[in-house]
Amino acid sequence: MNTSTASTQGTPKDPAKCPHRQVHSIQVPLVWLELVFGLVLLLVAGTYLYEAAKLPDPMNPKAVGAGDFPMIIAIGTLIAVFLMCCHGLVKIFREKEHERVELSRPLSVIIAVLILGGIGAFLDSLGAIIATAGLSALLMIAVGERRPLHLIAVPMGLALGLYAIFVLALGVYFP
């Protein structure tokens, strides 16, 4: 299936070729990630099942109530997650070499999440232009852009361009 996951997670820069910028990366076995994610999902699906069971029964005893369909979904998901965890455990004990997931530049990713969360949360108080320019400049720094001209021109262009399209051309209200 053609999803957007195509190729950007590809090649992190080769540290040997970039003497000025050290690329930090962590390698985690995929099975361990699956297991941790599976346990979190078991908890979430369990809570979902508990909440679904608390929903009131229908007036007509033969009808399907508000909680019945969610309960079917919860049970199906719990089974699938449980099997995924079991599959992961079997792989941990049987296989010596595990497929690894590379988490490159983890600090930059965390900073990017904080930038997105920070600017996003205060979007209405910062206003469209300042929020757009600030978000794009900070995010470009997080991705690794260091050229001053790019750091000024792209955010300015984006802020003014998006403002012109959304507010002036399409008539969308922005704070």
Residue ranges in 114-153 that form contacts with another protein under rule CB under 8 A: 116-117, 119-121, 123-124, 128, 131-132, 135-137, 139-145, 150
Report if residue 22 touches another protein, rule: CB under 8 A. Answer: no
Q: If binding means CB under 8 A, how many residues of this protein chain bind another protein? A: 87
Asked if 29 is part of the footprint of another protein (rule: CB under 8 A), the reply reads: no
Specify the residue, 33 or 92, whose C-beta has the smaller distance to another protein.
Answer: 33
Residue bearing tokens 């069971």: 53
C-beta closer to another protein: residue 96 or 173 = 173
Q: Is 19 in the site for another protein (CB under 8 A)?
A: no
Cα separation, 15 vs 7, in Å, equals 20
Compute the distance between CA of residue 141 and CA of residue 29 in angstroms, rounded to an integer: 29
For residues 56-115, which are near another protein according to CB under 8 A?
56, 58, 60-67, 69-70, 73-74, 76-77, 80-81, 83-84, 87, 101, 103-105, 108-109, 112-113
C-beta closer to another protein: residue 51 or 95: 51
